[in-house]
Amino acid sequence: MTNYLESAIKQFEYYKSLGEKTFEQLTDEHLHWQYNEDSNSIAIVVKHMVGNMLSRWTNFLTEDGEKEWRQRDAEFEGSYANKIEMIEAWQKGWQCLFNAIKPLQIQDLKKIVYIRNQGHTITEAINRQLCHYAYHVGQLVYIGKLIKGNDWKSLSIPKNQSDAYNKEKFGQAKHRGHFTDKS
C-alpha cells in the first residue's frame, strides 16, 4: 500500500506535467480558444480543475469535499486574464492536492472522507480525483493539439517512432520503476 501512495503521487505529477507541457506551447490567445460556444477553452477547463482541487483537498480529512464556498457553475464562466494568472491558479490547486496527500500513511487509506455526503475510503477518493484530473488533462492536451496542428510537439511517443522507442526500452535490463522515471 505504500507503493499505492507513491504511485498515485507520481501519476498526479505526471498529469500535472502534461498540462504544463501543453501550456508551454500555447499563447494567451490559444488558452481562451473555444471550438464553439458550448465547448470549453483550456482556461475554463483549468478554472474548473482548480476549483475542484481546492474544494476536494482543502481540509479533506475533516470536511466534505464539496465546500459550501465552491461556486462550481461559475468555474465555467469567464476565465483568467492571462497565462500567468492561469498558471498561478493551476499551481495553487496542485499544491493543495499534494499538501493533502503527501503526508498520508498506509493506515489512513481506509479512513472515510465525504464528497457531497457520500463516503469514500481515502483510496477511493484518490482514485476518483486521479481519474477526474486525467480526463480533464486529456482535454487540455487535445485542445492544445487542435490549436497547434502540425506545430504541436508530442507529449508522448511521436507518430512513427514506436519501434525506436520500444527498441531503446527493450535494450535495457528488466527493472522495477514507474514509467515516468528516467532510465
**Splitting the chain (183 residues) into consecutive groups of 10 residues, what average pLDDT does each group show?**
88 98 97 94 98 98 97 93 97 98 96 98 98 98 97 90 87 83 70
Give this prediction's pTM. Answer: 0.93
Q: How far apart are CA 135 and CA 171, in angstroms?
A: 32
* Sequence ranges of the domains in the chain: 2-156
pLDDT at 79: 83
Q: How far apart are CA 79 and CA 89, in angstroms?
A: 11
- Look at the block and give the residue holding cell 459550501: 68
The class that CATH gives domain 2-156 is mainly alpha
Q: What are phi and psi of 121, to 5 degrees?
A: -65, 160
Residues in the chain: 183
pLDDT at 85: 98
